[in-house]
A and B are shown apart, each in its own frame.
Chain A
Amino acid sequence: MAIHNEPARELTYKIAYHGPGMSGKTTNLRFIYNTLPGRQAGKMLVLDTAVERTLYFDFLPLVFSIPDGYKVRFHLYTVPGQSYYDASRKLILRGVDGVVFVADSRSQRFQDNVESMEHLKKDLSEMLLDYGTIPLVMQYNKRDMRDVTPVAELDAALNDRKVPFFESVAVDGVGVFETLSAIADAACGKR
């Protein structure tokens, strides 16, 4: 649920990055954090564990000042991808206004992507959110790896709502801001 604070002239949206383990969710946030200046990106919080797998969530608050004096905030979260963290993962989706699904394009992870998509649907419904209408954007990441599933195949298997999708190499920043732009559009009500 987005928050409109009228006297403070602020809008706040919550965006969650979902997807299988180590598909690049945290990488997306790191790139955004490293690229935006301090007045637009606040301090990033990372809660991770051995070999940098997200343990609970990462958090990055963005803020954009609009000419008319309004401040629009996007609070970005990532969820832990491994199915071991099922119980804690769904909690992060509470009150979310938009979801980015980050898929790992490597062919060996194909099944993991499909499973993770199922998790997303289940998690959303458990948090009383409607998968069918929630603003959603797909990111097919790691396109630079040698053995990747063709985009068309990934899209056919994962994108049943036919929402916008983006190819990315998050570690290089390719596609990261395009994805962010798209989910911001979707969450703010623009089709």
Chain B
Amino acid sequence: MPTNFLELKTADVELLDSELRTLCARAGAEAVVLLDLSGAVLSFHRIPESIDVLMYAALLASNFAATEELSKKLGVTDFRVIYHEGKKQNLYFDKVSDETVLVVLFKDSNALGRVRLFCEKSIPELARAVEGITKSPEAAGAMTQGRDAADSIRQIVESLKTPKSGG
């Protein structure tokens, strides 16, 4: 069965990128990422080279999800924000929509107020942009790519079959 797709068009990507760039500069942040809570990255700005973006996103999303669920178990109904304070770096999570969250990495813990302020300003814009992303039952023209990828995997299956074992 075909799955549902989030269609990020050029306009969407440009809008998100520019919003994150602005936020990053104003808040004085090291890095900013906009995540879907399934773990996918919608947009990011200035993630350091040393960080594996995909693993970073999976951890951030699952961290937020666990904390959000935890807060529900505690009877909290308006959970929105997480703050992790470290020795040199800090992480600030702010919810953008039901399915998306903004995560800011910044150095000086004293700047928390500033980060919060600019997040608060950016989030309505980001929410609007996210809301505007098309959701469709099939990716325009992308079905063949999916099939080609599945073919690649099938080739791997073939190549793993050796004559001496059952494969």
User: Quick check: do A and B touch in the complex, using CB within 8 A?
Assistant: yes
On A, residues with C-beta under 8 Å from B are 1-8, 11-14, 35-36, 42-43, 45, 56-57, 59, 61, 64, 66-68, 70, 72, 74-75, 77, 87-88, 91-92, 94-98, 133-135, 173-174, 177-178, 180-181, 184-191
A177 B160 Cβ-Cβ under 8 A: yes
Nearest chain A CB to B162's CB is how many angstroms away?
Answer: 11
Q: Is A59 within 8 A of B139, CB to CB?
A: no
B110 to chain A, nearest CB (A): 32
Contact flags B131-167 to A (C-beta < 8 A → 1, else 0)? 0000100111011011111101110110010000011
Which one of B37-45, B81-89, B112-120, B121-129 contacts A? B37-45
A5 near B8: Cβ-Cβ < 8 Å: yes
**A–B pairs, 24, beta carbons within 8 Å:** A2-B3, A4-B5, A4-B6, A4-B142, A6-B7, A11-B139, A12-B40, A13-B146, A14-B38, A14-B40, A61-B58, A75-B39, A75-B40, A91-B69, A95-B38, A174-B167, A181-B154, A184-B146, A184-B153, A185-B147, A188-B147, A189-B3, A189-B147, A190-B150
Interface magnitude class on chain B: 35 or more
CB <8 Å contact, A75 and B8 = no
Is the beta-carbon distance between B157 and A177 smaller than 8 angstroms?
Answer: yes
CA of A36 to CA of B153, assembled, Å: 10
**B38 nearest in chain A by CB position:** A95
* Interface of chain B residues 55 through 102 with chain A (CB within 8 A): 55, 58-59, 62, 65-66, 69, 73, 99
Are A45 and B148 interface neighbours, CB within 8 A?
no
What residue of chain B has the Cβ atom nearest to residue A91's Cβ?
A: B65
Question: Knowing A4-B6, A45-B55, A91-B62 touch, does A72 contact B146 (C-beta < 8 A)?
Answer: yes
Known: A1-B5, A75-B58. A187 touches B66 (CB 8 A): no
